[in-house]
Amino acid sequence: MTSALRRRTAAGAVLAVAVCGLPGSAAAQSGHTQNGTPDATSSAQSAAQSTGEATAAAKQQKDKRHGQDKKKPGKKTAPGEILGSQPSSFQYTPGQPTPTKAWTINYRSTSADGRPNAVSGTVIVPDDGRTTPRPLITYAVGTVGLGDKCAPSAGFPGGTTAEAPLVNAALVRGYAVVVTDYEGLGTPGDHTYMVARAQGSAVLDAARAAQRHPEAAKYGVAAEAPVGIMGYSQGGGASAKAAEMAATYAPELKVKGTASGGVPADLAKVAESLEGSGSAGYLLMSAVGQNAAYPALKLDRYLNDEGRKLADVVRNECVGMALEAGRGKTIEDVTTSNPLERSAWQQAVAEQLIGTERPSAPTFLYHGDADETIPHAVGQKLRADWCAKGHAVEWKSFAGQSHVGTAIQGNGPALEWLGQRFAGQPTSGNCGT
């Protein structure tokens, strides 16, 4: 059965072209013209007109998924405490059930400013008869969008979550996996997209919650088991920040290593490469995410009519429509004045820099040298920063690979590297080469 699952995983991996919302997912998540070509203008207008319906639909989905959640985060709950749980299921592609058990959970985490919040996610375990402790991977997905309907937990039962084939590759190795929806993606409020500390907390607290799940415990998810952290693109940033935070924020977790790919470690550098491009929609998504974490930034003060219309699309839709709506836009196109010229915004962006702290466990970093979304140099700089701190970094550059191509090509080596860490094999990295 395992070999058959591995073959299906390899075949299903082609679906990961939708990962991180790059070309491939836009067609699945936005409107089309009659000839099958996504129409950015009509998509944006349609989304803006249907904001009310989208918000209501997202709320209905959220209520259905988390109908058993009764507790609210507060002083009486600790990070990682389960606030609610209900059975779910996992398909790596539509119509492909897997031999797994899954639960959608709500759990306590921490916002960027230190306040308690509630985050949703999914715990998935192989239904293979194993009851003894097994490795757990806390997995951070790439960009899916800011609308609640886009949350990974919403798509797993039907096999529509873009990175499900990559998650399945961990499951067929016998690992348990917990996938966070991040703050505000599946729970109330705007998603704090690209806010490093909020994302890192969500990733670490997902692992804590999985280890406290009584049903998952029957399948070997246990506090004494080794933990790996993993993610690509947005998930690469979330996992890399979690690696920096683990020793102080969640010291009880037995983190053996972190595999992070396509890491947007420096948002300012990423913004420079994206403005006015086909992927410019990521910039407005990030602006909405920063504003969600830091309301004092008052994003709406800077947006013009076009910017406000696009912000409504971004807040309520999935990544394909957000990218189509923002295609080719510059900051000047959507604002009355550039917020990035203001000190408060500059400080907020600077706070998201990754590479300022040394992780407590080894890391595997990978990046495509033809990455058109997150410059290869940004990944190289993160490697240099961690290496300068004496950290054990295993760096792999994928020659000629795009952003999406590297997500697919790097998944296997990343899991292989984590498997070596779970097995207790030492690594010193390759900083000297």
Residue 43 has a pLDDT of 33
Residue 152 above 90 pLDDT? yes
- Rounded to two decimals, the pTM is 0.86
Residue 16 has a pLDDT of 37
Confidence of residue 2 (pLDDT cuts 50, 70, 90): very low
CA 170 to chain centroid, in Å, comes to 16
Q: Are 12 and 162 in contact (CB under 8 A)?
A: no
Which residues lie below 8 Å from residue 228, measured CB to CB, with a gap of 6+?
A: 135, 136, 137, 138, 175, 255, 256, 257, 258, 259, 418, 421, 422
Q: Summarize the confidence of residues 249-275 as an average pLDDT.
A: 97
Torsion sign over Cα 140, 26, 97, 407 = negative
**Residue carrying structure tokens 């899991």:** 415
Confidence of residue 19 (pLDDT cuts 50, 70, 90): very low
Element (H, E) at 285: helix 281-293
Residue 61 above 80 pLDDT? no
Share of the chain above pLDDT 70, in %: 82
Confidence of residue 432 (pLDDT cuts 50, 70, 90): confident
Q: Where are the beta strands (DSSP E) in 4-130?
A: 82-88, 100-110, 116-126
Q: Are 394 and 430 in contact (CB under 8 A)?
A: yes
DSSP secondary structure, 136-172, as one string: EEEEE----BSSGGG-HHHHGGGT--TTHHHHHHHHT
Q: CA 166 to CA 353: how far, in whole Å?
A: 26
Q: Summarize the confidence of residues 210-217 as an average pLDDT.
A: 98
Residue 113 has a pLDDT of 94
Residue 74 has a pLDDT of 54
